[in-house]
Each structure stands twice: as structure tokens, then as C-alpha cells.
Amino acid sequence: MSIPARTTEVIGILGGMGPAATADFYAKLVSITPGASDQDHLRTVIWSDPTIPDRTEALLGKGPDPTPWLLDGGRVLREAGATVIAIPCNTAHAFVPRIADHVGLPIVHMIGEVARYLTSLSPRIHTVGLLATAGTVRAGLYQEWLGRSGIHLVLPDNASQDHEVMTAIRKVKAGTRDDTTTALLTRAARRLTARGAQAVIAGCTEIPLGLSADAVDVPLVDPALILARALVSRAGADRTAR
Amino acid sequence: MSIPARTTEVIGILGGMGPAATADFYAKLVSITPGASDQDHLRTVIWSDPTIPDRTEALLGKGPDPTPWLLDGGRVLREAGATVIAIPCNTAHAFVPRIADHVGLPIVHMIGEVARYLTSLSPRIHTVGLLATAGTVRAGLYQEWLGRSGIHLVLPDNASQDHEVMTAIRKVKAGTRDDTTTALLTRAARRLTARGAQAVIAGCTEIPLGLSADAVDVPLVDPALILARALVSRAGADRTAR
């Protein structure tokens, strides 16, 4: 190879779902990568395709299947030299089983990493709340991964899911987030802690853009940050103890 | 093409110089793109290669020429389907003449766009200050583009350039920006306004990360934002009046 690098890993980010969350994810990846100069950072290729059909609409049977777009993005990343793929969109993980065998690269599974993180905590967490899109909830992604680890999941009731969580997510996607967005998400999160959640998963990459960790009195788990840490660790660039 | 899109433009970002500035640039591009849903945004491919040798070091004759890395990144972007290239690094523009004929795609020239923006202002601006890397200053990039438009450029003296501007830029690149970083850049900017600058160009993509617009009492011009606007405008996605 003509270009020397400290690691041969090239991070591939399959993004655009949404684009603001992709920008936020890359900023997180950069900020947690230890290093004193540009050259200590990881080579990264990002395919940000906001035209990928809405994942929740597809899972609710109301829109086209995004699988062909995801496969196309995976191909672009592989051809660009990526050695691993990260998908900073929770709902898109419902389609990972359809693309995993075809992209030709390992996919670091964001929801699997969250499950691994939660089971590593001490004292042990037994009940976790989830703020996510209707698509992620319907696809049962967190139910499946956390269920395997014996962690009980608390979900918003239908009214909170529709009128608080989804309304807030749409506002962030539309670039119109404001104090109302934060209020909606805070209210939804507090309903979950009132029902025993010892931590709340910000299970849509748009949610941390509208809800800060201080707004809830239990840990707010950011899957994008956990995914970023998993990538840094994998690339062997994680030279400092976290 | 199998994937329909509202515009055929695919933005190619040749980044990683530094990576935090690339993340910030993409966030700016997303935030100024008008649209109410993910699908209104522009398809974007980002090649973020922080291993590209330091541009300032090369221009000062102290490090390797980054041209081969830039050509390689341009090839990745073209093969990924990009239709236009943006380079969110001022200093890297010193190497644009060496790559422009070889990348096979138009490059939207950030410094050219800044010059165009400054000459469009009313009332007319005659004197502009520049905060940039030693490499950008040495390469005479802003001197050349603004000179053509009859705009006089005020530069920091050597002490301010070395001990204020470059020190602050290195802190941002190292991820160790703090109040001192802001203080250094504010002081350097005020020295320029004291010498008659009617606006100050934050002429290194790291500078807006360490200096806010309120810190100086003249307009702070962010070339990354101007480049982002030029891309949105070019893609025809700019459906609202600015």
C-alpha cells in the first residue's frame, strides 16, 4: 500500500439515516479517538445517503424496503477501502440480517454493543427503558438483544410513543428541534424511570440531539457513543484506559 | 439508476484535515440544507483521511507533500459516485492546482467562494483580517483571491501568528481546546480589527471550533459555512431564500 498508516483499519460508516445523526456520530468518533494530532485519527469513509427510504415506514408496512439502498451503500464503502462497517441508525439494524452476508465486511452491531455494555455495568442493571422509533420497537431489536442478557425492557405506552417520542424524532430530522422537543423527550424518559427503568437507552440516533443526559436522573445510554467506542477499541487506537 | 433521488448531485468531501473540522463541516452542510425529512438531504460521500501529511509542514518545507494522498482521496470519492468535490481545509487549497486536473471532478474552491462572498457584501468591505495556519498565510491563498477583488488583507504579526493562532489551532487538533484557546484566538482577532479589519476570516477549519462569532465585534467569516452554502446552492437544493 502506498499510504502508511498507524492502523490498517478503515472505518466505513453507512449513514444518512438521518444525516444530522451521521454528522453527530462522526464527531463522537473523532472526539473519543485518543491522539494529539490529525495523523493519530482513524481513516474513515462515510456514505451518507439520506434518500434511503424511511426504516420505520418500511417496518410498519407503509413504505419501500431500504435493503437495496443499504446494500448499495455497503458496496460503496467496501470499494472505497473500508474494512469494517458501522451503521449509526438503530432502526436500520432491523435490516442487518438481510445485508450482513452480502456486504463482504464485518458489521459492528450497535445494538449488540449496547447489550454488551449494559451487562458489563456494576451494580447490575435489571430494567432499562427505551426511547426509539416505532420501527425499532416494532422490530423488537432491543427486546431480542437485551432479552438474551436477562435485562427487562420498559417501553413507552402507545400515546407516549406516538405523541412524544416520534413527534420529537421528526422535529430533529426536520431540523426544527427546540425546547418543546426536549420537553417531549424528557417527559417520555421520566415515564420510563417512574416504571422502574434504571437506565434509559436513547435508542434512535436523533434522540441525543434533542435530549441531554442531565434531563433524566438515571444514566442515559447513547448507542452511537457505544458504537464509536467499539470501533476505536477494534481499531486498536484505544491507547488510553477509559 | 436504480435509486431515485431529488438531485443527481453527490457531494464528495475530501476531509480529515483535521477530522473534527470535517465532522463540523458535514454538520454545517446538513444544518443549512432545507428540508423536512431525511430524504430531502444531499447524498454525500466523505473520505476522511487524517493520515494526510500536515499541509502547513509541507508548505514550510518541513514535511512530505500531501499531494499523493489528496489524489488518492479524490479517486476514492469519484469511484464512490461523487459528482463534485469540496475540501474543508483552507491550507489544503494550496495543493488544489496540483490535483484539479487529475481528480476528474469539479472542485468547489472554498477560498474562491469566500472572495466571492466578501465582494457581494453591502456596504462594501475594503479591509479583512485573516486568522489561518502559517501554511495558508505562506502559500498566499487569501492574498491572491482577495487581491484580485481589491480587498486588502491584514495578517497577524509573526509573534501573534506563532504564539496565538498556531498554538490555538494545535490545541483544537489535539482535542484539548479550552478557555485559553478562545482567549488566544480572541486576542489575535482583536489585533486585526484594531488595524482596521472590517471582518475577520476564520481561515482554518479548526478556528470556528475555538472562536465564536460573539468574541469579535466585526463579522467573523466562516469559510466552511460559505463552502457548504455554495454546495447546497449548486445542488439546486437551496429552495429557500437566504
Residue B6 is predicted with a pLDDT of 61
CA–CA separation, A168 and A67 (whole Å): 26
* Domain covering A111-223 in this structure, CATH number: 3.40.50.1860
Instruction: Indicate if A115 belongs to the active site.
Output: no
Statement: B111-222 belongs to CATH 3.40.50.1860: yes
pLDDT recorded at residue A6: 61
The CATH topology of domain A10-110+225-234 is Rossmann fold (3.40.50)
Per-residue pLDDT of chain A (242 residues; tens, 9 = 90+): 333 346 789 999 999 998 999 999 999 999 999 877 888 899 999 999 999 999 999 999 999 999 999 999 999 999 999 999 999 999 999 999 999 999 999 999 999 999 999 999 988 999 999 999 999 999 999 999 999 999 999 999 999 999 999 999 999 888 888 889 999 999 999 999 999 999 999 999 889 888 988 889 999 999 999 999 999 999 884 344 33
CB-nearest to B46 from A24, A40, A45 is: A45
A105 at interface of B, judged by CB pairs closer than 8 A: no
B16 close to A (CB below 8 A): yes
Contacts of A2 in chain B (CB under 8 A): 68, 72
Give the Cα separation of B31 and B108 in Å (integer): 19
- Which amino acid, one-letter code, is at A70? L
Tell me the ipTM for this assembly: 0.90
Nearest by CB: A46 against B20, B45, B173: B45
Whole-angstrom Cα distance, residue A120 to residue B196?
59
Which amino acid is it at A198? Q
Name which of A10, A1, A106 is nearest B47 in CA terms.
A10
Check if A2 contacts B (Cβ < 8 Å).
yes
Q: Give which of B1, B9, B38 to mutate to test A binding, by max A Cβ within 10 Å.
A: B38
Catalytic site includes residue B106: no
Q: Where are the domains of chain A?
A: 10-110+225-234, 111-223
Tally of CB atoms within 10 A around A83: 17
- Distance of CA B19 to CAs A37, A106, B128, B223, Å? 10, 23, 27, 16
Nearest residue in A to B69, CA atom: A3
**Beta carbons of B23 and A26 less than 8 Å apart:** yes
Pick the CATH number of B10-109+225-234 from 3.40.50.1860, 3.40.50.2300, 3.40.50.620, 1.20.1440.230: 3.40.50.1860
| Same fold? B10-109+225-234, B111-222 | yes
